[in-house]
Structure 1
Amino acid sequence: MTSLLSDTVHVETRAVSVGSSIVHVRIWTPEDRLPDKVPVLLFHDSLGCIALWRDFPERLARASGRVVIAYDRPGFGQSSARSDTLPASFIADEGRTVVPVLCDQLGLSRFVACGHSVGGGMAVHTAAQHPDKVTALVTIAAQALIEHRTLEGVREARTTFADPGAFERLTRYHGAKARWVLNAWTESWLSPAFAEWSLDDALAGVRCSTIAIHGALDEYGSPRHPEHIAKSTGGQKVVLPDTGHVPHRECPEVLVETICGFLAKAS
């Protein structure tokens, strides 16, 4: 376990055992933490990891006065490697297998579930599976169903990463796990077994306040996705102009302000 102090945010790194995997966790605690506010648990995207959140967790912790927690899913970033093929249920499985262990080992009794892209789907499932723990739900560029734009974006990305230079950039974050990470994304989403996938069942089980944030220029999904999430949960939709699939890198200030405004009323 290591820690450091960055301005007014204390940053701590932990290693948590989840089954046979060691999961890398990072926790940002603001010096002026508001004790009555529950932490925010971040779920990363298909090629993501803690490092690829960049400074978003620290910005969110400082602006919200909340503890922010991010982790590398097994197989990603600095967590243990995997060699298996992801089942079609892998998005729903995260809330059933990994999240309860994190809650137990980190002492999380209640939290805000906040996920980017496929991590948004994991956050939705987590909210539906643990209504007693999840006090609010935030999705960022999440897919709610299979859309032509989504699949075309994945196909284009698969072609892009065939270039050694592009793939080398992926290895900076995942090391020798990069090939598994890439295949876990592209082959899962393009698999026939995934053709009818949607978040509908999970969305029907969400009981907490919800906000679905999406970039107007998102290359992996149209505004149909946040509309569907918001309508299904009775939540709100925010479409960010001139923004693509990664708002936490493209417009972090706006994203943090949007989330903080929502949480000030929701949780």
Structure 2
Amino acid sequence: MSPVTTEVFWIETPQGRLFARRWFATPNVSDKPVIVLFHDSLGSVDLWRDFPQQLCEATGLDVVAYDRLGFGQSAPYPGHLPLTFIQDEAERFFPQLREALGIERFIAFGHSVGGAMASHCAANNPRDCLALITESAQAFVEDRTLQGIRTAKQQFQAPGQLERLGKYHGDKAQWVLDAWTETWLSAAFSSWTLKHSVGSVHCPLLALHGDLDEYGSVLHPQRIAALAGDRGEAVILEGCHHVPHREESARVLAKVIDYLGRIG
């Protein structure tokens, strides 16, 4: 594994400032694609922990992670999160990230709802997105997903739980929690599907999913993989819950390395 260096970026956008971090592979080769990470509904750059560095070391590719507007160290989101937030990320914010960091060819890697955002980015940039990787992503609003969110919402009522979230999001923690729970639990969002919003993906696609995921059954990776037709592949990780890159990082990295090697 090659050593890596990191750099922090502050990206000014009309909507507010975004925080990003880039892990540079050594040796750095300018024409290689960059892996861009899209975090989950409660996530941030810091909550990826050491996975971006591990991914950079294992693949020899630069890795970029950023806090979406309203999350982590990025600026607060102006108002309530709209129901179009998934496609908005691909159409409004991701292009600004690419321009600011000079990202041309890329591999989109999204965890949970970040997987849906990564799928949109792949669909919107068919020439530049070389591969799509989703992990624990949702393809539709499933009863199992909603029950998991209701359980988590109740757990966050316990003393100290919101404060734990505040370690990563500061005084935006309540907004972050509400943006997740109230959006997904709203009747207006119940008909959302990734197929309807994305249509299809024209690059190789790897959909990773734990068989014990509390926020979605194995129907999700199957439907996500189908977005790419015969270029899509669903891999079920036995014994994993919703965050395989934290629970079984070595296994996730092995699957990613094998996949990129086979398409590459």
Q: Give the alignment's TM-score, normalised by structure 2.
A: 0.96
* Equivalent runs, 1:1-267 vs 2, <5 Å: 8-33=3-28, 35-234=30-229, 235-267=232-264
Q: How many residues align?
A: 261
2:112–2:137: 8 Å Cα contact kept in structure 1? Answer: yes
**CA apart distance, 1:83:** 4.2
Give deviations 1:77-109, integer Å, cap 9, x for gaps.
000012411111111110000011111111111
Give deviations 1:109-143, integer Å, cap 9, x for gaps.
11001100000000011111111221110000000
- 1:132 is paired with a residue whose SS is coil
**CA apart distance, 1:22:** 0.7
Of the structure 1 ranges 195-204 and 231-240, higher mean CA displacement relative to structure 2 is found in 195-204
**CA apart distance, 1:203:** 4.4
**CA apart distance, 1:33:** 3.9
Distance 1:82 1:36, change over 3 A: closer
1:141–1:218: 8 Å Cα contact kept in structure 2? Answer: yes
**CA apart distance, 1:48:** 0.1
Distance 1:20 1:156 in 2: 32
1:204–1:233: 8 Å Cα contact kept in structure 2? Answer: no
Distance 1:83 1:160, change over 3 A: farther
Could you list the structure 1 runs, at least 4 aligned residues long, displaced by more than 2 angstroms after superposition. 32-37, 201-205
Of the structure 1 ranges 133-142 and 77-86, higher mean CA displacement relative to structure 2 is found in 77-86
**CA apart distance, 1:172:** 0.7
Q: CA RMSD in A?
A: 1.3
| Amino acid in structure 1 at the alignment position of 2:47 | L
Unaligned runs of at least 5 residues, structure 2: none
**CA apart distance, 1:37:** 2.8
Give deviations 1:167-212, integer Å, cap 9, x for gaps.
1110111010000000000000001110100001344331000000
**Identity among equivalent pairs (%):** 46
Of the structure 1 ranges 193-202 and 94-103, higher mean CA displacement relative to structure 2 is found in 193-202
Distance 1:24 1:164 in 2: 29
2:32–2:105: 8 Å Cα contact kept in structure 1? Answer: no
Distance 2:173 2:198 in 1: 31
1:10–1:28: 8 Å Cα contact kept in structure 2? Answer: yes
Distance 1:194 1:228 in 2: 19
| Amino acid in structure 1 at the alignment position of 2:263 | A
| Amino acid in structure 2 at the alignment position of 1:213 | L
